[in-house]
Amino acid sequence: MDLPLFIEHASACGPQIEAVTLAKIAKQESALRPWALSVNYPLGTARKLGEPGGYARLATQPQSKAQAVRWAARLVEQGHTVSFGLMQVSSQNLSRLGYTLEQAYDPCANIKIAALLLAEKLERARKLAPNDPLPTALSIYNSGDAWTGFANGYVSGVLGQTVATMPVSVRFPTVRSSPVIADSEIAEKSFRGAPTSRRVGVRAVPGPNYRAALAAPTSIVWNKP
């Protein structure tokens, strides 16, 4: 998705958060790719796959919404949690919010969920950093706490994104309202040192049986679609 279109979506679907802020998060999280998919807890997942010290990541990215939903559902069925879409929303949030994977992969819904989450984190952050709550809120959004997102580079990565502002001319329909979830529901509790915190790495073909790739860092690789 290009940046002007994202800004239009963000203004309509997540109006409680500035569109530029959402755009910076989306650039950090997914590089504005609406079908982006990643595995949560990459260090723990690598350990489960027999690669202690590795970093589990998907080997390739879905190329369509249908493919993305299918892959995400397969990962969840295998016991993983995933982050997905423009804003890399966690699958652990869906039941509380009343969304299916397919619904939450919709760009507008994905932005709406992320805006709800960040609004909640801002409320918490205002108690910890009343003069400038956004950086702390971003850390909580990323990691569930007020410090990990600083340590792993996420906060500086988001704030360092460049987003050119432009007038919004198109309004998109909003999705249904959803309750705000508790801080404990945030799923992104892993350390990701690179600015592309929940993005995906090397290439391979997805399929039902994964194995640990030999390449470093560890990747989750499938055999056949």
Position 177 pLDDT exceeds 50: no
pLDDT at 216 over 90: no
What was the pLDDT predicted at 207?
32
Q: Given this model, what pLDDT does residue 11 score?
A: 97
Nearest alpha carbon to residue 193 among 161, 141, 140, 156: 156
Report residue 67 as tokens.
């493919």
Give 198-213 pLDDT, tens digit per residue.
Answer: 333 222 223 333 333 3
CB-based contacts of 46, cutoff 8 Å, min separation 6: 52, 53, 54, 55, 56, 212, 217, 218
Locus of tokens 């959402």: 22
- In which domain, by residue range, is 155 found? 3-222
Amino acid code (one letter) for 157: G
- Whether 145 has a pLDDT exceeding 70, the answer reads yes
pLDDT on residue 9: 97
For the segment 23-80, what is each residue's pLDDT rounded down to a tens digit?
999 999 999 999 999 999 888 888 888 888 888 888 889 999 999 999 999 999 989 9
If one counts the domains in the chain, the total is 1
Q: Dig out the tokens for 158 from the structure.
A: 């988001």
Write down the pLDDT at residue 165. 60
> Which one has a higher pLDDT value, 79 or 86?
86
The torsion angles phi and psi of 167, rounded to 5 degrees, stand at: -65, 145
Query: pTM score > 0.85 for this model?
Result: no
Of the candidates 201, 23, 1, 220, the one whose C-alpha atom is nearest the C-alpha of residue 111 is: 23
